[in-house]
Amino acid sequence: MLPDLTSTLTLSPASSIEWAIAAWHDAKSKRSSSHETSSAYRDTLADFRALLRTINLDLNSDARAIALTAQAFAGSSKRSRDISASTYNQRLAILSSFYTFARKSGLLDLDNPISRIERRAAHAYQSAIPLTTVEVAQRLKAIDRSTLSGKRDYALLVIALHTGRRVTELASLHWTDLVFAADKVTVTFQRTKGGKTASDTLSAPASRALLDYLNAIHGAELVNLSAETPVWLSFSRQNKGKAIGGQTIADICHKHLGTSKVHTLRHTFAHSMERSGAPVSEIQARLGHESLATTGRYLAALKRAENPYADELSRLFGLD
């Protein structure tokens, strides 16, 4: 396990590599509130360094050797599965981030070896497939809301579908992030992608779903909750009363919506917003995209599978 910056400071003497790893991970951890993202950075670099050591190299070895090893590492799978272009590029981006940081900080005197490697062509949003609103409505209606877990699952999915937020943003919600006014709740996501803060005022029905869950869980104690009380609580025997994480949210999505990819709810939100007549600029703001062009590509990808002539083709082919 990689040491954090404070523990590294106590090492004597400390190697330049250990200093660089600790400082880089410390900087990345403070930029992201996502435990999953922080772990991905830490584990990717740790796995790569372990591979280098098997061939008597390290992170500060010859740049050409590191580049060749990184290329093989980025395209390898522990389970002999095909590696997608996005995964391949993400691994290289993480490694490149380390070398860029280490050189800029003066901790390693080594040009970025990852810059020697060509990235793979990746089709933007190639897996972006939204759920249909009819399917979502039917599946939400089928959730048993007489139980605490049913109330939680229903409220969580409703908020995800109404805000388009990412799984880490949903999981990080606390009591202090909720503001109640009349019949609506405003939810503030303290750290969205890029370190920004975003707020969403829920519709009255969505607000009622959230309040129904919160009242069922906390009852009269609702007004006395600590600001850091997690919104989404676990009901499992091992973690009862603790905050649920991304994997549990994925399990909830799979159980009720038939997909474990929580990002599908973000796709569904964007697609439904457009079909409801929302301007692209509003969808851009809700999704937190930097530009309209990004949102345009996103929406175009969501509509790739749609064929407005499908019914006419069935008629021409004589299908019932």
Tell me, yes or no, whether 82 lies in a domain.
Answer: yes
- With beta carbons less than 8 A apart as the criterion, state whether 280 and 295 touch: yes
| pLDDT value for 11 | 43
CATH no. for residue 61? 1.10.150
Tell me, yes or no, whether 66 lies in a domain.
Answer: yes
What lies within 8 Å, CB to CB, of 233 at 6+ separation is: 152, 217, 240, 241, 242, 243, 244
| pLDDT value for 16 | 84
What lies within 8 Å, CB to CB, of 281 at 6+ separation is: 292
- One domain for residues 295 and 157: yes
Contacts 24+ apart (CB under 8 A), 180-188: 180/211, 183/207, 183/208, 185/210, 185/211, 187/159, 187/163
Question: How far apart are the C-alpha atoms of 238 and 182, rounded to whole Å?
Answer: 37
Tell me, yes or no, whether 317 lies in a domain.
Answer: no
Tell me, yes or no, whether 318 lies in a domain.
Answer: no
Give me the number of domains the chain comprises.
2
- One domain for residues 250 and 199: yes
Digits of tens for pLDDT over the chain (320 positions)? 444 544 444 443 347 899 899 999 988 887 655 566 788 899 999 999 999 999 999 999 999 999 999 999 999 887 666 778 888 999 999 999 999 999 998 888 888 999 999 988 765 555 567 888 899 999 999 999 999 999 999 999 999 999 988 999 999 999 999 999 988 999 999 877 767 788 999 999 999 999 999 999 999 999 899 999 999 999 998 889 999 999 999 999 999 999 988 888 988 888 888 888 988 888 888 888 878 887 787 777 777 766 677 777 667 767 66
Give the range of the structural domain holding residue 36, as residue numbers without chain letter: 5-116
- With beta carbons less than 8 A apart as the criterion, state whether 215 and 222 touch: yes
- One domain for residues 147 and 93: no
CATH no. for residue 277? 1.10.443.10
- One domain for residues 78 and 174: no
Contacts 24+ apart (CB under 8 A), 49-53: 49/21
Tell me, yes or no, whether 121 lies in a domain.
Answer: no
- One domain for residues 181 and 267: yes
Question: How far apart are the C-alpha atoms of 23 and 102, rounded to whole Å?
Answer: 8
Chain-centroid distance of CA 98 in Å reads 21
- One domain for residues 146 and 224: yes
- One domain for residues 287 and 232: yes
Tell me, yes or no, whether 213 lies in a domain.
Answer: yes
- One domain for residues 73 and 105: yes
| pLDDT value for 91 | 93
- One domain for residues 245 and 171: yes
- One domain for residues 154 and 72: no
Q: Which of 306, 305, 309, 287 is closest to 296 using CA atoms?
A: 287
